[in-house]
Amino acid sequence: MSGDPLAKSATLGCWRDKVDPEPLGGGITNTNFVVEDKGERFVVRIGDDIPEHCVSRINELASARAAHAAGIAPEIVHTEPGALVMRYIEGRTLKPEDVRDAGMLERILPLIRVCHQEVPRHFRGPAPLFWTFQVVRDYAATLRKDKSRRSGELPRLEAMSAELEKAVGAVRLVFGHNDLLAANLIDDGTRLWLLDWEYAGFNSPLFDLGGLASNNELPDEQERWLLDTYFYEPADKSLLYRYAAMKCASLLRESMWSMVSELHSKIDADFVAYTSDNLQRLESAWIRFQSLEG
């Protein structure tokens, strides 16, 4: 990230008055601020392209605008290189335990459906593709080149990825958010909002479903409800197998994302601990996957 994020956020060309940005915690890819200008509140995201994470701000902007048009994301009011300004949503940022609440999960699933089905109707420009296994291949190359402390583990993780990709098989493409962390969901008391579209792109719906489950540690019965309800019929053995594979892939990608972040991120976060936590959960999911029949 180039320059001073605080100074940049204070001097954007959209402000009508002198502003005093306040740091907004929680981001582990961007630096975020809340800004009040002439009685209105905004969120500023400061961040350049991140080639090592395949993040293109052009794609993020197009995805965020399409999501706003679909009614599930805040309005983007200004952009310039390295900065995105959106309207502030007054509400509660969810935590994993909120997502595990049955009533909340029933509200989240329609939001995912809108993302998958309605956002692409509003998307303009070349459409991004987020194929999890290609991301993993790219991460592995980066980790080898930059001599990650976990380089010795890469052959096993790559073999795991290849087996998972084969197990997932042919997919039906939808427009995925691809980063369904609890912190990317806001409840304003009336409706839910979905934030942070930097990884958005066409993908299998199983990635978002598996990512939601793995990121928020949903119990087995909620995972089954998620599948049965999303697909409007009870999940058969084949779907459960492909879902388990994609859930592993979600955890694998998150683990390797963190490994790369250990090397490249300038954000103050404990990526070493985050890597360790995700790898432990990956091992549990992997054992579960291997117990299933395709």
Please name every residue paired with 83 in a beta bridge, in sequence order, or none if there are none: 46, 80
Q: 171 near 288, Cβ under 8 Å? A: no
Rounded CA-CA distance 288/241 in Å is: 10
DSSP assignment, residue 182? Answer: G
Domain 5-87 maps to which CATH number in 3.30.70.1450, 3.50.30.50, 3.30.200.20, 3.30.70.270? 3.30.200.20
Read off the pTM. 0.94
Which amino acid, residue 254?
A: E
pLDDT of residue 218: 97
Indicate the domain borders of the chain: 5-87, 92-290
Per-residue pLDDT of the chain (294 residues; tens, 9 = 90+): 457 999 999 999 999 999 999 999 766 678 899 999 999 999 999 999 999 999 999 999 999 999 999 999 999 999 999 999 999 999 999 999 999 999 999 999 999 999 999 999 999 999 899 999 999 999 999 999 999 999 999 999 999 999 999 999 999 999 999 999 999 999 999 999 999 999 999 999 999 999 999 999 999 999 999 999 999 999 999 999 999 999 999 999 999 999 999 999 888 889 999 999 999 999 999 999 999 977
Q: 138 near 146, Cβ under 8 Å? A: no
Q: 194 near 67, Cβ under 8 Å? A: yes
Backbone angles phi, psi at 193, to 5 degrees: -125, 145
pLDDT of residue 267: 82
CATH assignment of 92-290?
Answer: 3.90.1200.10
pLDDT of residue 97: 98
Q: 12 near 44, Cβ under 8 Å? A: yes
Rounded CA-CA distance 50/271 in Å is: 17
